[in-house]
């Protein structure tokens, strides 16, 4: 059976962040509201293909292994999960409560990450995250389950 066609639990939402529209700083929150176009009150709302950045704890483990210390949110993610979604194909849908997200693109590594450490962009080149767009809106909170559908 094709795994992507079944609803298997993949993991949990560990942290949630929004980007302040004016300062661009990441703000940790306990819940987010999503609508077609992205996360309500996030600077990336309405940016096609880049509405939401989902990052795995694995990315931070890679950094830790290479002695790079950074707080969660440093990679620019909106949603931090405890499973690795980087192998999922563009078009794959994820469900969290009533929310349905669709993977829209793999996240390119931004050069500003070299501010944390010069070799960081190279280390996480294929492990920074995935962008998703909102197919069906709703609310997500920390601790919610997230599934591939």
Domain count, the chain: 1
- Residue range 77-129, pLDDT digits in tens: 999 999 988 889 999 999 999 999 999 988 777 666 666 666 676 767 777 78
pTM comes to 0.87
Is residue 104 a contact partner of residue 90, using CB atoms and an 8 Å limit? yes
- Residue range 27-64, pLDDT digits in tens: 999 999 999 999 999 988 988 877 999 999 998 998 89
CATH number, domain of 30, equals 2.40.33.20
Instruction: List the domain range (segments joined by +) for residue 93.
Output: 3-148
* Residue 93: C-alpha distances to residues 58, 89, 133 (Å): 20, 9, 9
């Amino acid at each position: 059976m094709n795994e992507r066609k079944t609803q298997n639990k993949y993991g949990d939402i560990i942290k949630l962040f929004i980007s302040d529209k004016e300062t661009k700083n990441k703000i940790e929150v306990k819940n987010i509201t999503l609508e077609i176009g992205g996360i309500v009150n996030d600077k990336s709302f309405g940016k096609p293909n880049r509405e939401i950045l989902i990052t795995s704890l694995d990315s931070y483990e890679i950094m830790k292994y290479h002695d790079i210390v950074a707080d969660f949110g440093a990679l620019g993610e909106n949603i931090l999960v405890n499973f690795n979604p980087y192998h999922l194909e563009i078009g794959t849908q994820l469900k969290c409560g009533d929310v349905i997200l669709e993977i829209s693109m793999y996240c390119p590594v931004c050069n500003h990450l070299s501010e944390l450490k010069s070799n960081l962009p190279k280390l996480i080149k294929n492990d920074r995250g995935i962008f998703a767009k909102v197919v069906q809106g709703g609310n997500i909170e920390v601790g919610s389950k997230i599934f591939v559908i």
